[in-house]
Copies of this chain bind each other. A is one copy, B any other.
Amino acid sequence: MDVVDSDIAQVLRHAGYRVTRPRMAILSVLQENREYLSPQEIHRRGRERYQGLGLVTVYRTLQILDGLGIARRVHTRDRCHSYALARGDRHYLVCRRCGQVLEFPCDGLVPLVESVRQETGYLIEGHLLEMTGLCSECQSQGGADR
């Protein structure tokens, strides 16, 4: 179990959850794939690490991980229920071809939030900024979307 696994295991334990083989298998899949994956895909890959992994456990674990902010849902035009490991903040970049998910710091949004608040009167509690496109590798390769 590598360093990051241990960190996440700590978070789970502190939140009162048990650290189990199925959960570690799912985390390991998310960690080794910097792309968004559907629950089915996570299940398939998770079985390569832990044969007995059930799809139901994947769903339940993803809910827990999402609740703890460890993983998060990625929304794309067609897929609304895929997940990727959260890597720090709430802004990400999705490659439409290979599915890689990259998070980026986003201080530039603060003044924008403020101006929207002033114009609309909304109390803004959260936001989702997702950019889609092609990562540099996929730009040079061409081909169809996932």
Give A residues with C-beta under 8 Å from B: 73, 75, 77, 80-81, 93, 95-96, 102, 104, 106, 108-109, 111-113, 115-116, 119-136, 139
Chain B's closest residue to A116 (CB) is B104
A31 to B106, CA, bound (A): 34
Overall SS of chain A's interface: mixed
A105 to chain B, nearest CB (A): 9
Residues of B within 8 A of A119 (CB): 104
Chain B's closest residue to A104 (CB) is B116
CB < 8 Å neighbour of A131 from B80, B93, B127, B133: B127
Q: A116-B131, A123-B134 are in contact. List 18 more A-B contacts (CB 8 A).
A: A73-B77, A75-B80, A80-B81, A96-B125, A102-B120, A102-B122, A104-B120, A106-B112, A109-B112, A122-B135, A122-B136, A123-B136, A124-B132, A125-B132, A127-B130, A127-B132, A128-B131, A129-B130
